[in-house]
Amino acid sequence: MSLNLPRSVKESVANCRKSVQECLGEKKSRMIVEFPTGTDFQLEAKSKKKGKLSALEMSNDTAAPSTTLTFHKSNRELARLFVEVRRRAMRDAWMLGC
């Protein structure tokens, strides 16, 4: 059995988007989507500010805040991806008159 795994985050997101759209088309209301913890979807620009959060993120003394910030950033980006997929699906359904 050959398993084709995505080679990049972009390819992973494209595959996920396709699968979610198929599920929405089949009127499935529940989905479980899993990505590795802390996946960088590269939706948010890296901040160049040197504020308190940036200082904590770059600090070697406290690994926990950096991990927590990365985790929350990953969750926000994944949520944005799903909002976009859902928004496109609703727009397409409206245009087709469904």
pLDDT (0 to 100) of residue 64: 56
Structural domain for 62, as ranges: 50-98
pLDDT at 55 over 50: no
pLDDT (0 to 100) of residue 61: 47
d(CA 95, CA 98): 8
Residue 56 within a domain: yes
Residue 2 within a domain: no
Pinpoint the alpha helices (H) of 1-98.
Answer: 9-25, 52-58, 63-96
Q: Which residue has the tokens 């928004």?
A: 87
Q: How confident is the model at residue 65 (pLDDT cuts 50, 70, 90)?
A: low
CA 41, distance to chain mean position in Å, is 6
Collect all residues with Cβ–Cβ distance below 8 Å to 62 and sequence separation of at least 6.
56
- The token pair at 31 is 């989905």
Domains in the chain, number: 1
Mean pLDDT of 71-92: 84
